[in-house]
Structure 1
């Protein structure tokens, strides 16, 4: 247990000390929230009084994707490339507690993100409504889906290739995920693709939980659940520790 706690602390400190990971996990979501809430560049979707009412849930979904996929995936990928995972797996910590420590790190990082982003959103005038309790299953499913996706890339690609692939996928999912631009504003062909991706499903379920002006469809929950089940299973079967 002491080894597990020390590894959680180490994983968290490494994540918080890396400027590029802090930029992705907190900096970019916070910048998007503040900039688009104050400038009025984006049209306000129907049913929302202020831009922040639509942006805040989407930015929280973006934060989940940032920490579960980008921070976890890139960090694990470089640890694998440099042989760190192999050596840690052979220590008394063991592979089971190493994986548990990484999952715990992601959950703690997500908690920090939620506190920072919700505080900023409330300061910008956000007043959440709807069934806020539905955010918990959305966050859990989203974390499982994106952590599985991040570990799949980290466990099969080389460190630099994984870095490029993860960042490229992050940008793509940000554009298609309905986190800044509503999915229904996308061209019909692009929209059909976006609706079966985990980013759009997560942002829709979080938006439906936080806002009475939006309702998450059964399809969105089904898509998110499917990714949450499939990605960890595929990652577990294909992950190579060295």
Structure 2
């Protein structure tokens, strides 16, 4: 930059203000999109109720009151309840929350407008997944801290396995949420997502363990994502052992749901 003698005004070199169109860097776009999704999630009161307050109430109630059966070898109820409530928290945020949010994003044209930007579709999905992982991390801190205050004593050697299960479970439920939220109308997604959440809560191996379910249902529960995650976390926190069958079940659900979602997800 220089100045002209006549006016003393600044003179810029040719091309200084020439537009340079192009998309931003992938990490920057991912961070911005994930931050927006996290802000939208934490801003909605109904999302906070679903992802944090209800699991927190169930954690305290099921740990203090004798309202659900627990195995005979469990000395403290919270040792059996806490891992299953963590599984419920993952299902609430990654599946139900993501499905409803995606359904209404499609209804109001948000997804269509985002798809018209430089944000690739795969990065759009990845941003939602990163946001879900952040929300799950907040849930684990709050629910885990409350469980510890109630007397929960997890095995330290199982923390790495529990982390793997939490991440795999978030990916699996997130893919299922995209599959549901990307294929149906918003009103149908809202109803169906809550129905599935309620059914899996009661009959999916979370509140009631497989041993207390009817025979045919008990045989199916370990192959459901809810049952696999709950049983896997129970094994990791109580016994310090990473059970690989639940990881395989969650991975299979994640791959299958992702493959179907890529074919059925609509922008509007």
TM bin, normalised by shorter chain, reads over 0.9
2:118 maps to what in 1? Answer: 92
Q: Given the two structures, how large is their TM-score scaled by the length of structure 1?
A: 0.93
Deviation at 1:32, TM superposition (A): 0.5
Alignment of 1:1-40 (within 5 A): 1-40=27-66
Q: Quick check: 1:156 aligned with 2:183?
A: yes
Query: Following the alignment from structure 1 to structure 2, what is the Cα–Cα distance between the partners of residues 126 and 138?
Result: 19
**Range with greater deviation from structure 2 (101-110 or 36-45):** 36-45
Gaps of 5+ in 2: 1-26
1:86-139 Cα offsets, whole Å, 9 max, x none, are: 101112334333222211111110110000000000000000015221112211
1:158-186 Cα offsets, whole Å, 9 max, x none, are: 00001101110011111122222111100
Query: Following the alignment from structure 1 to structure 2, what is the Cα–Cα distance between the partners of residues 141 and 18?
Result: 26
Query: Following the alignment from structure 1 to structure 2, what is the Cα–Cα distance between the partners of residues 2 and 220?
Result: 34
Choose the corresponding residue for 2:76, options 44, 50, 70.
Answer: 50
Change in Cα spacing, 1:236 to 1:217, as seen in structure 2 (3 Å) is same
Choose the corresponding residue for 1:179, options 178, 200, 206.
Answer: 206
C-alpha contact (below 8 Å) 2:84/2:207 kept by paired residues: yes
Secondary structure (helix, strand or coil) at the match of 2:223 reads coil
Query: Following the alignment from structure 1 to structure 2, what is the Cα–Cα distance between the partners of residues 217 and 186?
Result: 21
Query: Following the alignment from structure 2 to structure 1, what is the Cα–Cα distance between the partners of residues 176 and 75?
Result: 35
Q: Quick check: 1:113 aligned with 2:113?
A: no
**How many residue pairs were aligned?**
241
**Range with greater deviation from structure 2 (55-64 or 4-13):** 4-13
Query: Following the alignment from structure 1 to structure 2, what is the Cα–Cα distance between the partners of residues 224 and 184?
Result: 21
Question: Could you say which structure has the larger radius of gyration?
Answer: 2
Secondary structure (helix, strand or coil) at the match of 1:211 reads helix
2:220 maps to what in 1? Answer: 193
C-alpha contact (below 8 Å) 1:176/1:200 kept by paired residues: no
Q: Given the two structures, how large is their TM-score scaled by the length of structure 2?
A: 0.84
Choose the corresponding residue for 2:153, options 127, 133, 136.
Answer: 127
